[in-house]
Structure 1
Amino acid sequence: MVKRRAAIVQLSAVILFVGVLSYIITTYQLVQVAGNSMQPTLRHQEYTVIHRRKIPKRYDLAVFDFEGQLIVKRIIGVPGDTFTRDGTRLIFDVSHMSETVTYTVVVSDAMAEQLPASGIIPLGKYFVVGDELQISHDSRTLGFFSRVNFRGIILRVS
Structure 2
Amino acid sequence: MNFDFELILAIAFLVTGAVWIYDRVIFLPKRKQLLNDLTPEACSALPKTVKDSFGDTPKWVVEVKSYFVIIAVIFGLRSFVVEPFQIPSGSMLPTLEIGDFILVNKFDYGVRLPVLNTELIPTSSPKRGDVVVFKYPQQPNLNYIKRLIGLPGDVVSYHNKRLMINGKPVDEELLAELNTSLNPSKEPVALYKENVGEVNHQVYKSYRNNPLEGDWVVPDGKYFVMGDNRDNSSDSRVWGFVPEENLKGRAFYVWLHWNDFFSLPNFKNNGLIE
For the aligned pair, the TM-score class normalised by the smaller chain equals 0.5 to 0.7
Unaligned runs of 5+ in 1: 1-16, 95-100
Are 1:78 and 2:145 counterparts? no
Which secondary structure state, in structure 2, belongs to the residue aligned with residue 34 of structure 1? coil
Q: 1:25 maps to which residue?
A: 78
- Counterpart-to-counterpart distance in 1, 2:132 and 2:84: 14
Q: Secondary structure at the match of 1:154?
A: strand
Q: Residue 60 of structure 1 aligns with which residue?
A: 130
Which structure's CA Rg is the greater one? 2
Question: 2:150 touches 2:156 (CA, 8 Å); kept in 1?
Answer: no
Could you list the structure 1 runs, at least 4 aligned residues long, displaced by more than 4 angstroms after superposition.
83-86
Alignment partner, residue 230 of structure 2: 133
Which residue is equivalent to 1:102? 169
1:1-24 Cα offsets, whole Å, 9 max, x none, are xxxxxxxxxxxxxxxx99xx4753
**Partner of residue 40 from structure 1, selected from 77, 94, 104:** 94
User: How many equivalent pairs are there?
Assistant: 127
In the TM superposition, residue 75 of structure 1 has moved relative to its aligned partner by 0.5
Name the structure 2 match of 1:13.
none
Percent identity, aligned pairs only, is 31
Alignment match, 2:220:
123
Secondary structure in 1 matching 2:245 = helix
Once residues 130 and 84 of structure 1 are traced to their aligned partners in structure 2, the CA distance between those partners, rounded to angstroms, is: 15
TM-score, normalised by the number of residues in structure 1: 0.65
Residues 61 and 107 from structure 1, CA distance in 2 versus in 1: closer, same or farther, beyond 3 angstroms?
Answer: farther
Give the alignment's Cα RMSD to 1 decimal. Answer: 3.3
Is the Cα–Cα contact under 8 Å of residues 126 and 145 in structure 1 kept in the other structure? yes
Instruction: Please list, as runs of the form range in 1=range in 2, the aligned pairs for 1:143-154 lying within 5 A after superposition.
Output: 143-154=240-251
Gaps of 5+ in 2: 1-68, 110-125, 171-209, 255-269
Deviation per residue, 1:69-105 (Å, 9 max, x gap): 111000111112235798xx984227xxxxxx434xx
More strand by share: 1
Q: TM-score, normalised by structure 2?
A: 0.39
Contact map agreement 2:87 2:100 (CA 8 A) in 1: yes
